[in-house]
Structure 1
């Protein structure tokens, strides 16, 4: 019997020593997606732009082909507000106008000046404006993938609008618009733009009906655009935690040794004549390794990929010592936003992970502690993306 107790005490002493001395080295890295077409979708109010431009245009009326090219040119302006939903697809609302110049036989919008008496043509001028909504397709980003350092892009667009002249005879017609929006980056905020557009309206818009069903105009406008923050897209990231294979092998060997010792102990107890000793239970007391979940900038939504990892983490928590409590700590990137936003964002991220563990995977709320640190400096690898995170670790 004395031998049994000696063996029991020795086994627990060895187990305690192994538990205290065994530390598995780990390395946390952040892998950035290399897919040139894959980006993190920004919020609705990100990637907006506003622009103005001025240039020249000429109108295709019933008799305007009788004019010299230089005589048909008129000043043009444009103003627009838009947003990019993705690097390749955007939309805008635009206003363009000032004046159209042409010739007329029936006197519509006539200036009274004879242009060609042999053809009964008088000079024609009338003011107009065209309000239209366009959908833009950035060919460089759609075909070549998104690059943050790209300087020049070409974006064909199509749209519908409402073209109006208040000069007598007045007209209001639906317009169809087709063009190419070219953009050259001057800085993070400003672009130099060249907008080439064709517009079509009903033949009666200039006050004179002819053989054609539609009339139109060509416009070229050089301008500048301002891009509001957020101006770029981030690549998706994945946090990879790797452990030392040598340390893992050492741990496996020690677990095997513990199992052998446990079997020997049970055998000794079974052979003992002492009735007061009936069974020996060795309770598992394993701490689950910490987990880090990252978030896109300005967001606290838990991705499906993170939920999968949290599911494994929750299972490991509930299969081990129920006395261990884990702290769920939220962080934000100090270099982005302001202290108030980062305080709220880090709290929302902590609550999001807490809710997933409790509501989706059944971890008792009593085993979790919520905490948040607001905006913090770069915590790992001098990479701000790893600071937009939640870390769950045993207390």
Structure 2
């Protein structure tokens, strides 16, 4: 019966050790990679005529390099068509000038109306890109939505800005130009190259590791001569684009973090022997009493690293123990719960929680820093069964 009880106890102990062991964890490691992107959409060129009359088709081809989860660079070639126009909202009279006798001779009446123009262009540019999702939420290759911003510049090469083929109501434009109207003072011919600045936002919706749906909106600014009209300010056009983004090569690799091995506990069985006539006991050796380890668990709210007032008393108790035992030292270990956040965020939280206790001990309670050891485990180790209890800094002094 005793043997059966001993075996049963061993089995229960082994089960408890196995239950406390944690599973191995997989971590994502980002890789630099190239990508290409094909997009199409529409352009709006800022102007004074009806909105719909300033909308034109637009395409963009992009080749980019993602250097790390946040920072990248791309070459984007945007092209197709831009538009402009002027509303002549009142009739005008062409005044030819005074005659030799001083009499003013009136020319023909120029009618009101709208004249519009369209032309072709191609605009290669280089942008710096910043993935804000990875910056603020940590790297996660399985994230469905990623939000980015970008800024850069390049050159806009325009052509086919001519009255013979691309002007709507060009006769009206000619009449106003002949009458001295200055609206089209910057009208140009041939091929023109102008610098531009660009900024915008981008959203990527993950379809697979290699393919995502990319949406983009960008704003571009150029000199006042771009759309042919004299306005004494910068010209602008805006693009809205959608298309497919293809990643070239592996964007990440994985590695396995082994779970910490459970602490092996050795249970010794003490057998006492009963003797009817005990021999005279030798003098007992003097054993120096050893102080038991002193432990306090300082708990934090989710996502925070500040010591709450109700937890500050525990830090004071640790400090009082160290002051009462001048040879004692304390180890402060920070943790974060695995149920929230991600490994990167949790690793930072656990470190900052341990450092918060260290700062309180050294600054508030004047404990020498050499007596404090600081460590942090992120969410790789969970000392408690409940997530809420794993947002903790454990202090063990001895």
**TM-score band w.r.t. shorter chain:** 0.3 to 0.5
TM-score using structure 1 length: 0.45
Larger radius of gyration: 2
| Structure holding more helix per residue | 1
When normalised by structure 2's length, the TM-score is: 0.45
